[in-house]
Amino acid sequence: MKKRLLFLFLLFTTIIFSQSQKFQSNDFAISRSDLETNTFEKDSTANALVIYELGNSYVDKHSFKLNTDFKQKLKIFNRKGFDHANISIYLYNSDDKKVKIKDINATTTNLIDNKVVKTQLKESDIFEEKYNDNYTIIKFTFPNIKEGSVLTYSYTLESPFIYKYKGWNFQSEIPKLHSEYHASIPGNYEYNIKLVGGKKLTTNTSEIVKYCLKAGNGGSANCSNYVYIMKDIPAFVNEKYMTTRDNYLARIEYELKIYRDFEGGVDYITKNWKTTDKEIKLDPNIGKQLNKNVPSNDILEASILNQTDTLKKAKAIFETVKNKYIWNQEYNLFGDTSIKNLIKVKSGTAPEINILLHNLLAQNNIPVKPILLSTRKNGLPTTVFPVISEFNYLIVQVTINNKIYFLDATDNFLHFGQLPFRCLNQYGRLLDFKNGSKWIDIEDASISNSRYRVNISLDEALNIKGEVNHITSGHHALSEKKSFFKNASQHENKLIEKYKNFTISDYQAETEDKNSLEFKENFKINYEAEKIGDNIYLDPFLFKFFKENPFKLQERSYPIDFGYQDAFVYSYKIAIDDAFQIVETPKDVSLKLPENTGQLIFKTTVKNNEIIMYFKLTFKKAIYIKEFYPYLKEIMSTVVNVQNNSSIVLKRN
């Protein structure tokens, strides 16, 4: 048995290897097989494929500029892959310095009537345009593109910004067979080197080259030469329930740590957190703003100032800031932050609003600390060493009666202790200018859920009528509250428009406070049962939580990040007239996620002539590691199947 399994494994490995070897992925030259092979068995959905790419970064010994040579060989499978023939290269500039590009060569190679035909890119077809104040873009499109074309291009970048050492992306939105990067770093430049994405390198070597750089004063430096190779890299595909792809894209990044000049001077670029805390404290846009006195008597009512209950006082201050000051939709953490200007114009950035909240709480003797964080779209900040530029947001932490609350006053629909979804990005840096900053977990304080309770009856004439109660909490309630309190009649009309299979009447919202953690609404429904032949069919899922399975990938290489714990509950009770007998009810279903981290329960019971159905789906974790993906995919597939294919069948007596 063991020998048979070993044989099958070796056979499978040989097949996969031989499929890859149809392409010549070890160098830049185009082979006949590169042109003739028009499928990629490992990923049948791929519209294009990087067969080979090579980058080589080094400091020029004459100009002392950072040069990067780039080469890529690309296969186009079909018309959908034509977009990959449009190349954009971003060139950074700052003040009077800029990155330059030279020696652009691009060739399209086709197999036409069994002959190899090459078409060269003309220099006149290369364009330059301004992207923003710091970037220009070099653009060109390969000529004579066809299905089956092989594209090759190369260029050299010349950068005066050696402190911004060229990073390298191994992974992209299309698969790659071979991605190789060489980096030569002079010894007087010390970088933090970070491999992101969790994928393993096929090759990772380094060697020291003596006296690679020599200065005019007789100084010299050795170079560390690195070679990184990654092979058979799958395409990165965006899917629901993830933060920015920059968190997971396989790549190498460089952050300058120390620079030593040839005169013996040392400049520590990357600081430790102790030094960084001092810099933040003295920063005019953060630390100094956090220490500003604000006119509490002018902003807060006397009843708030005189409140003796700490929690009630904190909530009142929170509500005041939310309702008095409007967020201008900007983050601008390191911009021109001004609490004084916010108070004057009643509108400002997220940091300005939350710093004002912090200062009002602090001046009223409520224990409060600021937290720096990075929003979900901005990516996760580095934890190994301080990179302040990776933060783009500020919230506050309040501690009352040994309980911690995270506060953000940018949205006046937020409940006390509830953060907007953009802030739920795993962790942040709690600033404490006396005892030192530290990392803390950022988690939603409550479980979000959506619950339907349907209580209806079927009469002899096949009319169905009854009542629906819908309760949402947490982040589900947030969107419902915004819709209702902004325009109640429009909210009701949207509901009526959405569910055209039945008539909705007597709509009523029980929630009167827009800051409530829950939103409750009730309404009546009326419709006619479906009759086919002698049978009457009832779809018990009048309200469906998921139209389709959000998980479609064969394999997912990054976590499933819901942002918060979640639950979906649906109860359905129908009283059947005595004129009918129950022929069929849906089958019960029960599924659990590993380690008891989630569950699906679906049960149907019949009592006399009453059918009671109960559905509950729970996710007990906000974030699941990638190993949970097949189980989440299975449970969501079952959920969609239960919602779409559960029927109650009746027959007249």
How far apart CA 63 and CA 184 sit, in angstroms, is 15
pLDDT band (50, 70, 90) for residue 217: confident
Interval 225-251: pLDDT, tens: 999 999 999 999 999 999 999 999 999
- pLDDT for 630 beyond 80: yes
Taking residue 212's Cβ as centre, other Cβ atoms within 10 Å add up to: 19
So where are the chain's domains? 2-267, 273-441, 448-652
Cβ atoms of residues 59 and 67 within 8 Å: yes
Average pLDDT, integer, range 148-171: 96
Class for the domain spanning 2-267: mainly beta
The confidence score (pLDDT) of residue 458 equals: 97
pLDDT confidence of residue 6: 46
pLDDT category of residue 216 using cuts at 50, 70 and 90: confident
Alpha helix locations (H) across 541-628? Answer: none
Residue range 35-72, pLDDT digits in tens = 999 999 999 999 999 999 999 999 998 899 999 999 99
Number of H helices, E strands in the chain: 12, 37
% of the chain with per-residue pLDDT over 70: 97
CA distance 105 to 94: 27
pLDDT over 80 (residue 90): yes
Give residue 608's pLDDT.
87
Q: What is the mean pLDDT of the chain?
A: 93
Residue 271 has what pLDDT? 84
Q: Are 468 and 522 contacting, i.e. CB atoms less than 8 angstroms apart? A: yes
Per DSSP, 423 falls in state: G
Q: Model confidence at 207, in pLDDT bands (50, 70, 90)?
A: very high
> For the purposes of burial, counting CB atoms within 10 Å of the CB of 294, is it exposed (0-12), middle (13-18) or buried (19 or more)?
buried
Nearest to 33 by CA among 15, 19, 12: 19
Backbone torsions φ then ψ of 106, nearest 5 degrees: -145, 135
What the block records as the tokens of 175 is: 């698969």
DSSP states of 610-629 as a string?
EEEEEEEEEE--SEE-GGGH
Could you give the 3-state DSSP secondary structure of residue 574?
strand
SS3 assignment, position 640: helix
Query: Is the CATH number 3.10.620.30 carried by domain 273-441?
Result: yes
Q: Which two tokens stand for residue 499?
A: 């569910």
Give yes or no for residue 18 having a pLDDT over 50.
Answer: no
Q: What is the pLDDT of residue 95?
A: 85
C-alpha span between 142 and 154 (Å, rounded)? 12
Three-class secondary structure of residue 427 per DSSP: strand
Give the range among 76-80, 152-156, 186-190, 436-440 with minimum mean pLDDT: 186-190
Pull the structure tokens for residue 344: 């004057």
Say what the pLDDT of residue 8 is: 45
Share of the chain above pLDDT 90, in %: 87
Residue-wise pLDDT for 595-620, tens only, equals 999 999 999 999 989 999 999 999 99
Between CA 356 and CA 396 the distance in angstroms is 10
What residues are paired with 141 via a beta bridge?
86
H helices within 27-161, ranges in order?
32-36
